[in-house]
Amino acid sequence: MLCAPAVIAMLAVTAYPIVYAIGLSVQQVDLRFPEEGGFVGLDNYTAVLGSQLWWTDFFNTVFIMVTTVAIELVLGMAIALVMHRAIFGRGVVRTSVLIPYGIITVVAAFAWQFAFSPDTGFVNNLPLISDEMDWFGGRFSSFAVIIMAEVWKTTPFMALLLLAGLVTIDNQLYEAAKVDGASAWQRFTRITLPLMKPAILVALLFRSLDAFRVFDTIFIMTRGAQDTESVSILGFNQLISRLNLGLGSAVSVLIFVCVFLIAFLFVKGFGTKLEEGRPGA
Amino acid sequence: MERGSRDYALWSIGIVLVLAFALLPVLWLISVSLKPPEAVTDGRFIPSEFSFDNYKSLFEGGIDDSPFIKPLINSIGIALITTVIAITLAAFTAYAIARLEFPGKRLILAGALAIAMFPPISTVGPLFDMWRALGLYDTWLGLIIPYLTFSLPLAIYVLVAFFREIPWELEQAAQVDGATPFQAFTKVIVPLAAPGVFTAAILVFIFAWNDFLFAISLTSSDASRTVPAALAFFTGESSFTQPTGSIAAAAVVVTVPIIVFVLFFQRRIVAGLTSGAVKG
């Protein structure tokens, strides 16, 4: 009985809406033309899956997800090692790393946009970078800035999850390896990485699912211009900007299916006990 | 001895790099916010002259005309209410999961985990439709409800991890010593549980404070628009000026309290974010 309120609150805004979304996705519902309507079967899905736009956006989302998570894994591991093993200043490092975590994503996106924008930014005045570089004028240069902002904002979370795995490794293993003459790199690849596999997988899963939902940064920086739209932006445009609830819901349901598949592949592929992991922020 | 000083230098470099990574974008934002309007496009990292005009313009016109005060009140109110309700519900649930055996316990944990992975965009369309029918569109409650849903899993996981560590025998011990059950709960258990509850509260607050997707989808006016959504709709003094300075100033105003908060409660946040991440 103690759980009932929380369970109801969680189901009311997830399970019920997803059923509702599935319902909307098989109808023609466009709030601009309320008199038209009715059951259309899978027409909305064939329209979405048959469109170039969905596949471009899907590619963009997967591209951003894979790149950010890969960069974050390397950076996050480096930061976790500094936090764990630095002989001094650990407190300062842990505290400063939390700052990007606490900052509103929209605010972080503006900070990076201002830095790279040709009129307000300082980046183009740096050596080695052309003064004329129009970062938001091209697709992949836009992606570069979007990815940098995303990496900056979410690496702390990755680093902390990895740190939690690092602290569980018994220090005596390193001492023994040192005695046996293992180099620092060997100690890292032969002891740290294998023992941290569960922590790494949990961190990768949470960050991948989170990165697949990328919305805020793209909305602020390009609004999807230059073919930089993500699937979440597509869903938003259909649902809220165009008020086409039928098509938008089909996009929503497809995103849900993608997220479900990513989670399923992680669990099947790696077989870690993910109940021992914890939800991301 | 030489090895020791080499290590020292290496770690110093590592620490400086991490600090630069974390702090430079924030310093840049502060710098933009302090530039006078005519210098916003000078492309300098450090302003050549300082001005607080951007901050003044945020609060100009009082509560009715300022583009910032109402969203700020909305943000604070919505995030605080969400935090209080989410922590109350999550504490009951976590207490039951940590202390009692009942059918469906694993199901609740698995369900909470599933919701933590749920893509919020998938609920935006239905909520938009339902909220318009129910009159919840563009109200505080219309945002608080989805925030509750998506922060409860986080709060439950953090609290379960903390509650499992509490030595509950102390409660009986206190009763043996003559405390009433109520005293045993308030004087023994509450102080032990407080750090966990506090940690969960910080994380829920940051979540609600940060949200953008629901905030722009389910609001249409200053009646309930929160700061992240309001920032996206900021306009300049005229249609030819970019609102860069005002956005930067508003961003600093909503960021500094969070930074102070984070600095102050660093240990708690780290403990909360990593609780139960890896066992054994």
- pLDDT tens readout for residues A219-278: 888 887 778 888 888 888 888 888 888 888 888 888 988 988 888 888 787 765 544 444
Chain segment A41-80, per-residue pLDDT in tens:
777 888 878 888 888 889 999 999 999 999 999 999 998 8
Q: Which residues of A touch B209 (CB under 8 A)?
A: 104
Res A35: pLDDT: 64
Q: Verify whether the Cβ–Cβ distance A235 to B124 is below 8 Å.
A: yes
Is residue A21 classed as helix, strand or coil in its secondary structure?
Answer: helix
SS3 at position A244: strand
Smallest CA–CA distance from B159 into chain A, residue: A278
Across B70-85, average pLDDT: 91
For chain A, the structural domain boundaries read: 13-276
Q: Looking at the complex, report in whole angstroms how far the Cα of residue A160 sits from the nearest Cα belonging to chain B.
A: 6
Are A231 and A251 spatial neighbours (Cβ–Cβ below 8 Å)? yes
d(CA A88, CA A85): 9
Q: Which CATH superfamily is domain B60-274 in?
A: MetI-like (1.10.3720.10)
Half-sphere exposure for B200 (CA within 13 Å, toward CB): 31
Hey, which residues 203-222 in chain A have their CB within 8 Å of chain B? 206, 209, 212-213, 215-216, 219-220
Query: What is the pLDDT averaged over residues B3-12?
Result: 77
A3, A21, A98 ranked by CB distance to B262: nearest: A98
Asked whether the predicted pLDDT for residue B240 surpasses 60, the reply is no
Residues B94-140 have pLDDT tens digits of: 888 888 777 778 888 888 877 877 888 888 888 888 888 888 888 89
Query: How far is it, in rounded angstroms, from Cα B40 to Cα B55?
Result: 14
- HSE, side-chain direction, 13 A CA sphere, residue A250: 23
Distance of alpha carbon A214 from alpha carbon A222, whole angstroms: 13
Tell whether A266 is within 8 A of chain B (Cβ): no
Say whether residue A119 is in contact with chain B using an 8 A CB cutoff: yes
User: What pLDDT sits at residue B83?
Assistant: 93
Q: Which member of A3, A16, A115 has the closest CB to residue B92?
A: A3
How many C-beta atoms lie closer than 10 Å to residue B164's C-beta? 15
Residue A71, class by beta-carbon neighbours within 10 Å (0-12 exposed, 13-18 middle, 19+ buried)? middle
Q: Is the pLDDT of residue B239 over 90?
A: no
Is the pTM above the cut of 0.80?
yes
Q: How does DSSP classify residue A103?
A: S
Q: Say how far apart CA B151 and CA B156 lie, in whole Å.
A: 9
pLDDT digits over B32-72, tens only?
888 887 777 777 778 877 888 888 888 877 777 778 888 89
Query: Which chain A residues are closer than 8 Å to B89 by Cβ?
Result: 5-6, 9
Does the pLDDT of residue B264 top 60, yes or no? yes
Taking contacts as CB-CB distances below 8 angstroms, the residues of chain B near A274 are 113
Please give the helix or strand (H or E) that residue B225 lies within, else none. none
Q: What is the pLDDT of residue A151?
A: 93
Spans of all domains in chain B: 1-51, 60-274
Which residues, numbered 143 to 202 in chain A, qualify as contacts with chain B under a Cβ-Cβ cut-off of 8 Å?
152, 155-157, 160-161, 163-165, 168, 198-199, 202
Average pLDDT over residues B262-276: 73
- B78, pLDDT greater than 90: yes
In this structure, what token pair is assigned to residue A161?
């999850």
pLDDT interval class at A147 (50, 70, 90): very high
Structure tokens at A107: 């605010």
Which residue did the predictor score with more confidence, B227 or B191? Answer: B227
- Indicate the pLDDT class of residue B79, thresholds 50, 70 and 90: very high
Nearest-CA neighbor of B243 among B235, B255, B251? B235
Taking CA–CA distances from B86, the nearest residue in chain A reads: A6
Query: Residue B212's closest chain A neighbor by CA?
Result: A216
pLDDT at A278: 46
Nearest to A263 by CA among B89, B84, B244, B114: B114
- Is the CB of B279 inside 8 Å of chain A's CB atoms? yes
pLDDT, residue A70, reads 94
Is pLDDT of A143 > 70? Answer: yes
Residue A154 and residue A72 in contact, taking contact as beta carbons nearer than 8 Å: yes
User: Residues A160, A165, A166, A170: what is their CA dihedral angle, to the nearest 10 degrees?
Assistant: 150
Task: Say how far apart CA B126 and CA B142 lie, in whole Å.
Answer: 12
Bigger pLDDT: A150 vs A9: A150
pLDDT digits (tens, 9 = 90+) for A4-36: 777 777 777 777 777 888 888 777 777 766 666
Q: Considering only the top CATH level, what class is A13-276? A: mainly alpha
Other C-beta atoms lying within 10 Å of the C-beta of residue A273: 11
How close is the nearest chain A Cα to the Cα of B26, in Å? 8
pLDDT category of residue A196 using cuts at 50, 70 and 90? confident
Q: What is the pLDDT of residues A77-130, one digit of tens each?
A: 998 888 887 777 777 888 888 888 888 999 999 888 888 887 777 877 777 777
**What pLDDT digit, counting tens, does each position of B100-113 carry?**
777 778 888 888 87
What was the pLDDT predicted at A279?
43
What value does the mean pLDDT take over residues B156-165?
83
Distance CA A137, CA B213 (A): 25
Q: Least CA distance to A263: which residue of chain B?
A: B117
Query: Mutating which of B246, B278, B279 best tests the A interface, going by the most A Cβ atoms within 10 A?
Result: B278
State chain B's mean pLDDT as an integer: 82
Q: Is A224 helix (H, G, I), strand (E, B) or coil?
A: coil
Confidence of residue A280 (pLDDT cuts 50, 70, 90): very low
Spatial separation of the C-alpha atoms in residues B29 and B26, rounded to whole Å: 5
